[in-house]
Structure 1
């Protein structure tokens, strides 16, 4: 359906807070633009030829609205629910900012359950995670150095690792291939986005292999993740998870002369625990093997690392589209006991606060079962127009009809992209110089084609690259058209 008259979106009152359990209104009054007598923008139509020329199959839905009033200026299939891919992170950012606040920080602590006597902890030493999604090896190295500065030389008890600040997930989405680094485990202690670096180099007729937890200053080797070369062509990787190790094989025919890639970690507590043990050993502090703590630790704080403020973390999440950060932020915001429960909590927040009818399955958009309409996304963007969110979105830039950036263009576009196999989404704001801010969402998906893919095809599906290029060209054409009309 193309809307050529003004279509007022439901539920656009920004900042409306409904009591727990209240039903979202079916409609709400049109929000007034600040300042008196703002003239209505003219509605447009006629985008169907652009959609047809893209030859995407499946379905395409988009909405363009005045971000200040919520008046829809153009729409095609605004109520068709499609996979949002990583555009779901816009909803997660709004949820986390609302529940936690932009200044929230995640703490990683080292605790002692007994007194420090002569440099020796009389009890257990505990590495206690606070769910920090951006904790890296250098930060753990600084914690180890802080222990050395405190004069800690040993421990009489155990070395415990606590991850109970968040529920433990072995992976975000069960349908993704085992080896993709963007689908790691999630828990209360996350290191290097729960990825380990696998590097290989040709050495005569064989290869030299290594696994490490590299950051900028520290590159400790990792023992709990191991890899062997297998004489085969496919599959490229196989994975076996054990209680004390993660075992990989890699096909020799895929290795070439050398290379490297991040592989996901499924036992993040063991990974972080081992890396911290190695870093402490470099500071002269020998720790026993890590043990997973079953209960929340109580003890004196010996060292602490606080993450950057949530606002900064979310800005990086939206820029780099980091799945682990999205899941951690959403889980913290909901305080739910499972990812399923957390997704439902965010879905209900979106319904009550912004009138959305979205179906949410996770916080990153990685799960292909999520559904949201372009109309719902624009409702959200209009509702969050005066929040911190617009300032956190990536500068997408104006692009020509072939998707090429146009440097120096006077119109700004800040937006979040989303891509899954045969799914492409873009949502954000168009900022004309001296004009009125516009909110938009464009969703394209060929769900049957995506569902027909075999598992081995999911990382690089046949025809997928060309399909995404056409979808992105359509996005560029629509935005260029809108900017020309309203700049």
Structure 2
């Protein structure tokens, strides 16, 4: 990981920098980024060195509170690492008040206790069901009960998630539940039919049948006709329906489509029921969902641990996964039936332990809402705190991206020192106004560590803000700071 920050010869860095400007020391500030203020955008920015003598390299209204968008996820990552530690795993369990008799009959309900694992997938469920079968269970003389007592269904606080209760054309607006699986989304596999003119073949990603109703309007076309697929999940009185339309060439490869379910726990119940059936485990009653805790003294019949927290954070921050970020924030709440407002307060409680941070308002862990507010100075205080925690910092910085090698391709631009000597998290919102944010660490030409945070907010009267207009001046400004020190 730290190889990304390998020290480069000062002469090499200076040569690269000269293609963008001259006199780097004189220009080592945020002067280029600052020009966005002339277009009506509000900016809070700060960059400073960490080890050695404290030195601020550049700042623009560093204590001005603005929306950080998905940079919020760095607070969530820091708070969860401090609470749980990098190797913590969230556990999902199957429990019952009964035990299987000699014939494999469980005379009671089978409870699925969601452990708040944001990375719970079908693979985990397969292992869970396999362990249940190994425990000798063949028939449940009751029903499957999915318990989301920790949190869920969580009240929506953003337009995307509220609208997604009835209609959604993406996966990131999936509902939040401590018993959610596959990131709260339906997964459909679509493949062309054998002959043109026939409907495409649509199945569930984990089996031969679709677990939710499908309105198949996807037509197979001749070879090399092109593939254009549109999918939307609609919810009415009869539950979820995924409408898939467009066309697919006969020689096109199959592909998976993810769309947020309307109810994460119910989607888990359907998915788990299908898996139990494929293992030959039957039920006397239909599955149901509850917010009640598993009755005591129920015993664990099977359990599966999720991936370590440091791996969850790598995926959450690299792909800016909103579902995972908000589930992890909800995991910070110690009382049952948690809501995002409580998760926000848990994050704010963590911030309160950071001396000199200043004001902050956090309503979610994902940053989907512009109600989240913080300052560039405050973010840097948090980043510096993590830098000085040697047992946590490797996991924290590894969850950030280097501009050159990150999954967000729009960052792959700018001077070489910016590409190679920076690790950062970006944040983007377009409604109700534009937000472009970036924060993270950099290494200077002499090997010193620094932190930077940049928040750029528009308003209802400012134009759309292309990332290029922020990233290009930021990259050059940071390059000047890196090469000058």
- Common fold: TM-score over 0.5: yes
The answer to whether structure 1 residue 142 and structure 2 residue 127 are counterparts is: yes
Within-5 A mapping of 1:61-140: 61-68=44-51, 71-118=55-102, 119-140=104-125
The answer as to whether partners of 2:404 and 2:420 remain within 8 angstroms in 1 is yes
The answer as to whether partners of 2:417 and 2:479 remain within 8 angstroms in 1 is no
Residues 452-485 of structure 1: CA distance to partner in whole angstroms, max 9, x if unpaired?
Answer: 9xxxxxxxxxx56xx1222222222222121111
**Alpha-carbon separation, structure 1, partners of 2:191 and 2:157:** 31
The answer to whether structure 1 residue 393 and structure 2 residue 399 are counterparts is: yes
**Alpha-carbon separation, structure 2, partners of 1:175 and 1:430:** 34
The answer as to whether partners of 1:172 and 1:183 remain within 8 angstroms in 2 is no
Structure 1 residue 153, shift from structure 2 partner = 0.8
Structure 1 residue 222, shift from structure 2 partner = 3.6
Structure 1 residue 441, shift from structure 2 partner = 0.7
Structure 1 residue 151, shift from structure 2 partner = 2.1
The answer to whether structure 1 residue 165 and structure 2 residue 146 are counterparts is: no
Which residue is 1:247 aligned to?
241
Structure 1 residue 398, shift from structure 2 partner = 6.2
**Alpha-carbon separation, structure 2, partners of 1:201 and 1:57:** 48
Ranges in structure 1 where 5+ consecutive residues have no aligned partner: 1-41, 453-462
TM value normalised by structure 1: 0.77
Structure 1 residue 402, shift from structure 2 partner = 9.1
Which residue is 2:19 aligned to?
none
- Residues 70 and 171 of structure 1, relative CA distance in 2, 3 Å threshold: farther
**Alpha-carbon separation, structure 2, partners of 1:71 and 1:290:** 61
**Alpha-carbon separation, structure 1, partners of 2:345 and 2:59:** 28
Residues 374-413 of structure 1: CA distance to partner in whole angstroms, max 9, x if unpaired?
Answer: 12111211122123244333241469x9952777989521
Which residue is 2:9 aligned to?
none
The answer to whether structure 1 residue 414 and structure 2 residue 415 are counterparts is: no
TM value normalised by structure 2: 0.77
Which residue is 1:440 aligned to?
452
Count of matched residue pairs: 421
Which residue is 2:176 aligned to?
186
- Residues 93 and 155 of structure 1, relative CA distance in 2, 3 Å threshold: same
Which residue is 1:478 aligned to?
477
Q: In terms of mean alpha carbon deviation, does 97-106 or 194-203 score higher?
A: 194-203
Partner secondary structure for residue 414 of structure 1 = strand
Partner secondary structure for residue 199 of structure 2 = strand
Q: In terms of mean alpha carbon deviation, does 203-212 or 89-98 score higher?
A: 203-212
- Residues 402 and 229 of structure 1, relative CA distance in 2, 3 Å threshold: closer
The answer as to whether partners of 1:201 and 1:207 remain within 8 angstroms in 2 is no
Structure 1 residue 356, shift from structure 2 partner = 3.2
**Alpha-carbon separation, structure 2, partners of 1:200 and 1:402:** 32
**Alpha-carbon separation, structure 1, partners of 2:33 and 2:440:** 20
RMSD of aligned Cα (Å): 3.2
Partner secondary structure for residue 347 of structure 2 = helix
Within-5 A mapping of 1:53-64: 57-64=40-47
**Alpha-carbon separation, structure 2, partners of 1:255 and 1:368:** 38
Structure 1 residue 316, shift from structure 2 partner = 2.3
Which residue is 2:271 aligned to?
275
- Residues 136 and 67 of structure 1, relative CA distance in 2, 3 Å threshold: same
Ranges in structure 2 where 5+ consecutive residues have no aligned partner: 1-24, 220-229
**Alpha-carbon separation, structure 1, partners of 2:155 and 2:144:** 23
Which residue is 1:10 aligned to?
none
